[in-house]
């Protein structure tokens, strides 16, 4: 009986060519796993394509709810954004996918997992760190790094390889952007985007989102509710998290929300320029932060900023299955106990404009914040506070003057 390998299968040309390559070079039985985290139409006709290419079996697994509830929401609660711009769409999806790949590998008795990530990107790290953490005994096969036996360097090479193995597939050699899509976002790399001095050709790039110029001339009011940091409804309609993200994608895409052009620092050491469309995610993150503003105290807010940066780095670097991520997430969850309430905002030409925030746990006190003196705040109390708060500055200045005067003598 042949040993089995689990292939993370997208249905694209790269992973389709990997199927006969695995059989030819390792004599494996190839079991394909297509993991649905919201790719949409990309999953059509995959069963026929995988079998035609030589796979013995294809799993198509819907992970959308797991992705949204157990990977996206911890990052939303943390306000985790990599380098102040990237909302971690691909980064969050990989550990979700890895978990299921390992489960299927165990179920099938496979000895290896194969992925199609290139040797220049971050995804190879995310896949492999996850596999090492969850199944350290499994072999990992990364064809693009095995240059002694993976000799294909172009789409045409892959097409020719498939044809040579009796596989005639509907793929062309057209030049297009390199994209990764899921429910949270679409990423775009390649073509003119490889030159940071060039403006993106948004008419060709964007798939989910209007440009702000193309967005409606009238703003749209949106109301959301949250319970313990988790969104529960939009405009009075209760929904699960995945459906809330779908609805926010629709609204955000319509109004030109969430287009990011970034040159980011990859884990492997190089800088990379890309366009991210995250319409619903951008709205959800902003609404969540809008609610936190009135609920979290100052010290917790400051500590949470540090944890947000740490969480974004952990997720970006593929370290989801680590004690550090668990510890950071535990802190974040503790901060969300009272993040419950209603958020209103207007969407208008790429902007999210506040329209009112309420919570039964709000720490905002109108009587304290107003210029009218209330029972809890006497303006005279500020005298002693400022004296003590500024004492280190005053002592240092006095000391410096003392030294300056001594040097003049």
pLDDT at 371: 64
Q: Where are the beta strands (DSSP E) in 237-289?
A: 237-238, 259-265, 271-277
Angle between the N-to-C axes of helices 279-295 and 241-254, in degrees from 0 to 180, rounded to the nearest 10: 110
381 is catalytic: no
Q: How far apart are CA 285 and CA 262, in angstroms?
A: 18
Selecting among 157, 160, 176, 178, the annotated active-site residue is: 178
The three state secondary structure string of 296-330 is: CCHHHHHHHHHHHHHHHHHHHCCCCCCHHHHHHHH
178 is catalytic: yes
Selecting among 94, 100, 126, 181, the annotated active-site residue is: 94
pLDDT at 359: 98
pLDDT at 175: 66
Q: How far apart are CA 143 and CA 136, in angstroms?
A: 19
Domains of the chain: 4-164 (3.40.50.620), 178-295+340-358 (3.90.1260.10)
pTM of the model: 0.94
Is residue 182 within 8 A of residue 67, CB to CB? The reply is yes
pLDDT at 48: 83
Closest-CA residue to 10 (of 52, 50, 55): 50
49 is catalytic: no
Selecting among 123, 155, 181, 312, the annotated active-site residue is: 123
Measure CA of the first residue to CA of the last residue in the chain; give whole Å.
94
pLDDT at 124: 97
Which residue do the tokens 């303006």 mark? 379
pLDDT at 370: 67
Selecting among 10, 14, 126, 181, the annotated active-site residue is: 14
pLDDT at 372: 63
pLDDT at 169: 78
For the chain, which residues score pLDDT lower than 70? 42, 175, 367, 370-374
100 is catalytic: no
Classified as helix, coil or strand, 200 is coil
pLDDT at 378: 81
């Amino acid at each position: 009986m042949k040993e089995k390998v689990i292939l993370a299968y997208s249905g694209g040309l790269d992973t389709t060519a990997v199927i006969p390559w695995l059989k030819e070079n390792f004599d494996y039985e190839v079991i394909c796993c297509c993991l649905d985290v919201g790719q949409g139409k990309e999953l059509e006709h995959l069963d026929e394509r995988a079998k035609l290419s030589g796979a013995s079996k294809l799993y198509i697994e819907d992970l959308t709810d797991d992705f949204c509830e157990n990977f996206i929401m911890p990052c939303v609660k943390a306000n985790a954004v990599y380098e102040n711009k990237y909302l971690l769409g691909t980064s969050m999806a990989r550990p979700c996918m890895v978990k299921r790949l390992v489960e299927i590998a165990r179920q099938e008795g496979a000895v290896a997992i194969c992925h199609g990530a290139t040797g220049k990107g971050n995804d190879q790290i995310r896949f492999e760190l996850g596999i090492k953490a969850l199944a350290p005994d499994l072999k990992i096969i990364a064809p693009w790094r095995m240059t002694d036996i993976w000799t294909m360097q172009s789409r045409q090479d892959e097409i020719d390889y498939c044809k040579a193995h009796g596989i005639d597939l509907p793929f062309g050699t057209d030049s297009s952007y390199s994209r990764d899509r899921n429910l949270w976002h679409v990423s775009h790399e390649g073509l003119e985007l490889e030159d940071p001095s060039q403006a993106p050709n948004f008419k060709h790039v964007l798939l989910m989102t209007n440009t702000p110029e193309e967005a409606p001339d009238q703003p749209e009011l949106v109301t959301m509710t949250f319970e313990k940091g988790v969104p529960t409804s939009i405009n009075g309609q209760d929904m699960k998290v995945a459906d809330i993200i779908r609805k926010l994608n629709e609204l955000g895409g319509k109004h030109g929300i969430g287009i990011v052009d970034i040159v980011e620092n990859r884990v492997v050491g190089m800088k990379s320029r890309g366009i991210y469309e995250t319409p619903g995610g951008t709205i959800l993150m902003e609404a969540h932060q809008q609610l936190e503003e009135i609920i979290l105290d100052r010290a917790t807010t400051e500590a949470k900023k540090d944890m947000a940066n740490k969480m974004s780095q952990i997720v970006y670097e593929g370290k989801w299955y680590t004690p550090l991520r668990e510890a950071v997430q535990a802190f974040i969850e503790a901060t969300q106990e009272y993040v419950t309430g209603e958020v209103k905002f207007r969407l208008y030409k790429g902007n999210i404009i506040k329209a009112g925030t309420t919570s039964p746990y709000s720490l905002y006190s109108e009587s304290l914040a107003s210029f009218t003196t209330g029972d809890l705040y006497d303006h005279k109390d500020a005298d002693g506070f400022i004296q003590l708060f500024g004492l280190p500055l005053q002592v240092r200045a006095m000391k410096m003057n003392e030294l300056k005067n001594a040097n003049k003598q």
